Amino acid sequence: MKRTYINKFTKGLTAVALVLGMASCSDDLDYELFTKYTYLMNNGWQENIEMEINDDNTVDLPVYFGVNGTTGNDKDITITLAVDEDTLADYNFDKNKYDEESYYLLLPEDCYSFDKASYSIPAGQLNAGGVCKIDLNKLREHNIYAEYVLPIKIASSEGEPVGPSKYTKALYFLNLKNEYSGVYSGTGNMQQIGTSYTTQATGKQLYAISKDECYLYAGNVDRTTTGRSNFILNLHFNEDGTINISALNDAIELNEIAGTYSFKFYENTSDSRKLILMTTLYLKYEYKDITITDRDVRYSYEATLTKSEDVFKSDYPDASIEVEE
């Protein structure tokens, strides 16, 4: 499926500049009502920034920063950014206390780089932005299946002071995205092989790890399950519509039976600029439940899963629209 991308960082920065720039034109006050300082525009915990995976298996994380105040900006401001390990450590403890298995991991230093050593907010402007490039090929040398966070802070600011810490620090959760990742609805039918016992697993979430790969957890395992890493399944999406299913852990004795996917587009009656993209997966496999140690327990899993999302027509110029009966 051919998709045309528009640079999201450029669009985002332009929109921010328009909004904040308007506030700095004719509406400037003659005197400053607040203490002026520099700050991160996306501060605090950030988990909803979708990081689209590029063709070279990198992602570009945009970082926006600005200067506040009511009188505009009459100075050239220079800031530097730095990784803030202490803030991540504090967040992990506040959220999970002594449950260290649930801690978010610091993104390894060799997996990212900033596009500049320092950044400028020119006089007359209230904001600017930079890019942190994250290399997923490097991350594979560590553990690409872990939950990573990149904690960033404004380390220094010349021209105006650095603001209070709650406005100058951010925790960016690696929310990676490709065409196949996301939350799917549907019911997975599970049967304990050799018995009449059946159960169901509702829905699935696919986590992107490359341009054409995702992972999920086998059966009814999810990110809240203790020992979930033992049940990671890789899904490799091939151009012919098939999916290769493989297990990270040989001990679960995965038997891959079938995997397919398809895309369908529908008219979006609520927004003429957009289409509705329906992604459908069919997965069938068998695996061993290694949490049960006193006997051999295997399950079969079969599901048809769907994901619906609104997409811009401009991103899919060659889309064939389905006719609904």
pLDDT digit string, tens, across residues 143-159: 999 999 999 999 999 99
With bands split at pLDDT 50, 70 and 90, how would you rate the model's confidence at 1? low
pTM, entire model? 0.84
Q: Which pLDDT score is estimated for 99?
A: 86
CA 17-178-271 angle, 5° bins: 60
Percentage of residues in the chain having pLDDT higher than 70: 89
- 215 has which bridge partners? 207, 234
Q: What is the pLDDT of residues 174-192, one digit of tens each?
A: 999 999 999 999 999 999 9
Q: DSSP string covering 186-213, please?
A: EEEEEEETTSS-EEEEEEEEEEEEETTE
Q: pLDDT over 90 for what percent of the chain?
A: 82
* Pairing verdict, β 255-267 and 243-247: unpaired
What long-range pairs does 229-233 form, CB within 8 A, spacing at least 24? 229/145, 230/290, 231/287, 232/145, 233/285
Is the pLDDT at 16 greater than 60? The verdict is no
State residue 31's pLDDT score: 55
> Coil, helix or strand for 242?
strand
Pure H helices in 214-315:
none
d(CA 152, CA 163): 14
The string of pLDDT tens digits covering residues 132-146 is 999 999 999 999 999
Instruction: Report pLDDT for 71.
Output: 78
Euclidean distance between CA atoms 36 and 73, whole angstroms: 9
Q: Does the pLDDT at position 20 exceed 70?
A: no
What domains lie within the chain, and their CATH numbers?
8-176 (2.60.40.1740), 182-315 (2.40.128.440)
Mean pLDDT of the residues in the chain:
90
User: Cα 100 to the chain's mean position, in Å?
Assistant: 22
CA 130 to chain centre: 18
Please give the average per-residue pLDDT across 223-241, as a whole number. Answer: 95
pLDDT of residue 35: 83
Check residue 22 and give its pLDDT: 39
Tell me what pLDDT residue 70 has.
77
Residue 290 pLDDT > 50:
yes
Average pLDDT, stretch 152-171? 96
Non-local (6+) Cβ contacts of 58 within 8 A are: 133, 134, 135, 136, 137
Contact 23, 126 (CB under 8 A): yes
Contact 244, 256 (CB under 8 A): yes
Q: What is the pLDDT of residues 29-43, one digit of tens each?
A: 555 457 889 999 999
119-121 and 77-83 beta bridge pairing: antiparallel
- Count Cα neighbours of 71 within 13 Å in the Cβ-side half-sphere: 10
